Structure 1
Amino acid sequence: MALDPVLRTREHVGLCAALAAAGATEEGMRHEMDSSYLCTLSGVSEAKLPALLAELDADGYVTLFREYSSGQGDRTVWVSLTTQGADAYDRHLQAVRAIAEGQG
């Protein structure tokens, strides 16, 4: 079991962890999380979030949906963990556990 190279920083892991813990995944009935709430749960700053999500999106680990409201150009970005992202996150956690237990 190897660490996932896409989940190379605490921020990448934290985003996947927050989405998985909240059930914001494609599994079963699809659920999404507001990007502002994702910042709160993961501890990632709003300034860093767009770049991190773009990386995870490019690797197929998350999907993004932008919702624009009428008025002042406000938008909400909804995020969900893809099946591929959830599987990669689970494998990454298993690799971390194996290392911690001296099996890595």
Structure 2
Amino acid sequence: MTAPPASHARHQLDDVIHSPIRFSIVAALASVDESDFATLRDSIEISDSALSKQVTTLESAGYVKVRKGYVGKRPRTWLALTSRGRTAYAKHLAALREIAGG
């Protein structure tokens, strides 16, 4: 016997984005072109180390682009959602909406 096709919207949820912290990061980045690390950290109320770990996971998946540079002599890190990340976020949101509305 063959299993029926996976038609429930939960099968469309993105495992990378589904974590509450990563979901918060992607949601925050979806509304801007780019955010600096400190602003993102403060907006989602997370520690530097926890944010760094989650950004690494999102970067490995190709969802977030990390840019490093300097403002004056101070090092800065900027984060942006890639087009792949924006697409994954849109699909994840659509699945959540379908689950909530269904």
My pick for the range that moved more, 43-52 or 79-88, is 43-52
TM-score relative to the length of structure 1: 0.80
Percentage of matched positions with identical amino acids:
33
The CA distance in 2 between the partners of 1:37 and 1:9, in whole Å, is 20
Long gaps (5+) in structure 1? 25-31
CA RMSD of aligned residues (A): 1.5
**Which position in structure 2 is the counterpart of 1:11?**
21
Q: Which runs of 4+ in 1 moved over 4 A?
A: none
In the TM superposition, residue 43 of structure 1 has moved relative to its aligned partner by 2.5
Figure out how many residues of one structure are paired with residues of the other and give that number.
92
> Which has more radius of gyration?
2
CA-to-partner distance for each residue in 1:5-56, whole Å, 9 max, x for gaps?
A: 11131010000100112x22xxxxxxx2101001122233222011111110
TM-score relative to the length of structure 2: 0.81
The CA distance in 2 between the partners of 1:53 and 1:69, in whole Å, is 21
Equivalent in 42, 45, 62 of residue 43 of structure 1: 45
Long gaps (5+) in structure 2? 1-8
